């Protein structure tokens, strides 16, 4: 790993690293916040945060206002980049924001040329946690959260891997990507035209199938400009009803899709995960 930057924050330390990734076949970047007193003798659990379209590891760390409470709770936070990047990594030929660089959708691509690099599902599920646990004073207790495309990733990865994560939450997730334009565009390129293959990455369908057992918390703003066409939160409610699964979906009047919304309720999510991580 190569250290990019280091900053003190709320008694803890915020670090950014780059490293060669086997999953994505390129150099990846991630940030980690370590609370005070985290050490080999006293390792701490980790909340992994997955950001949305166009974002990098820096958006959450700089805008969410999560580090103060994480410091008090004794919780590390890891924020990876949202896609592979670098020379040779393919991008959308039109440079659109909803596909290609910055838009990995947290899946493992099966179609060329995307399948050589766009394997964010394996990176988040296996490679990054192993890297973090081998190099930092953290435990194997993990929670998972994210926003928008990252909320989609958090829900899908959490529900498909309840043995790896103790809890999962999301802000404004792309809940039913097989039925929205963002998802259809990404899935058709990354996964091909067989829509049956898409279902493994649709959180509303996974919720309906009851293939998981993990605590779920979701926040959605009613003034989110993407809610009706792209996010479709009611699909999560329908899925939970079909499988008789417990889902907490909080609708917030007047809130939009921005980090103002995330910062307003991030402490609720930290406390939610802290409870399942045994910190409170």
Which H or E element spans position 207?
helix 203-209
The answer to whether residue 257 is catalytic is: yes
- First CA to last CA distance, the chain: 33
pLDDT in tens, 59-70: 999 999 999 999
What Å distances lie between residue 192 and 103, 151, 187, CA to CA?
16, 23, 7
State how far the Cα of 140 lies from the Cα of 43, in Å rounded to an integer.
9
Q: Which pLDDT score, from 0 to 100, does residue 246 have?
A: 86
Q: Identify the DSSP state of 72.
A: H
State percent of the chain over pLDDT 70.
99
Has residue 179 got a pLDDT over 90?
yes
Please tell me which residue in 23, 203, 224, 273 is annotated as part of the active site.
224
Tokens 């809130």 sit on residue: 255
**Domain parsing of the chain, residue ranges:** 2-277
State how far the Cα of 70 lies from the Cα of 79, in Å rounded to an integer.
13
Contact 154, 143 (CB under 8 A): no
The answer to whether residue 244 is catalytic is: no
The answer to whether residue 148 is catalytic is: yes
| pLDDT-derived band at 38, boundaries 50, 70, 90 | very high
Please tell me which residue in 152, 189, 257, 269 is annotated as part of the active site.
257
Contact 83, 73 (CB under 8 A): no
Strand partners, 33: 14, 77
Provide the pairing of β-strand 26-34 with 12-21: antiparallel
* CATH 3.40.50.1820 given to domain 2-277: yes
Query: pTM for the full model?
Result: 0.97
- Nearest CA-CA partner of 269 in 185, 177, 145: 145
Contacts of 236 by beta carbon, 8 Å cutoff, 6+ apart: 173, 175, 176, 203, 204, 207, 218, 247, 249
pLDDT in tens, 202-261: 999 999 997 668 999 999 999 999 999 999 999 999 999 999 888 999 999 999 999 999
- How buried is residue 163: exposed, middle or buried, by Cβ count under 10 Å (0-12/13-18/19+)? exposed
Q: Residue 275 — φ and ψ, nearest 5°?
A: -65, -40
| pLDDT-derived band at 134, boundaries 50, 70, 90 | very high
pLDDT in tens, 102-119: 999 999 999 999 999 999
- Nearest CA-CA partner of 207 in 169, 187, 167, 236: 236
State how far the Cα of 108 lies from the Cα of 23, in Å rounded to an integer.
9
Please tell me which residue in 148, 167, 172, 203 is annotated as part of the active site.
148
């Amino acid at each position: 790993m190569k250290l990019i930057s280091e900053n003190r924050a709320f008694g803890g330390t915020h670090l950014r690293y780059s490293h060669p990734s086997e999953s994505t076949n390129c150099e990846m970047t991630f940030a980690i916040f370590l609370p005070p007193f985290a050490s080999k003798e006293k390792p701490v659990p980790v909340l992994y945060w997955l950001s949305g379209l166009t974002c990098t590891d820096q958006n959450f760390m700089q805008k969410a206002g999560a580090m103060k409470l994480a410091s008090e709770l004794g919780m590390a936070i890891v924020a990876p980049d949202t896609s592979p990047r670098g020379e040779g990594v393919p991008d959308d030929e039109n440079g659109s924001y909803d596909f290609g660089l910055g838009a990995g959708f947290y899946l493992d691509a099966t179609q060329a040329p995307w399948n050589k690099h766009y394997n964010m599902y394996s990176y988040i599920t296996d490679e990054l946690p192993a890297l973090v646990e081998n190099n930092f004073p953290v435990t194997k207790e993990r929670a998972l959260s994210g926003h928008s495309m990252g909320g989609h990733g958090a829900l899908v990865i959490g529900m498909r891997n309840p043995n790896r994560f103790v809890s999962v939450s999301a802000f404004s997730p792309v809940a039913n990507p097989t039925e929205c334009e963002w998802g259809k565009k990404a899935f058709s390129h990354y996964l091909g035209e067989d829509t049956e293959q898409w279902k493994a990455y649709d959180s509303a369908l996974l919720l309906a199938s009851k293939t998981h057992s993990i605590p779920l918390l979701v926040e959605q703003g009613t003034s989110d400009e993407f809610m009706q066409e792209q996010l479709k939160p009611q699909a999560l409610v329908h899925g939970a009803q079909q499988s008789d699964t417990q889902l907490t979906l909080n609708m917030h009047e007047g809130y939009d899709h921005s980090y103002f919304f995330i910062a307003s309720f991030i402490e609720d999510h930290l406390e939610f995960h802290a409870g399942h991580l045994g910190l409170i």
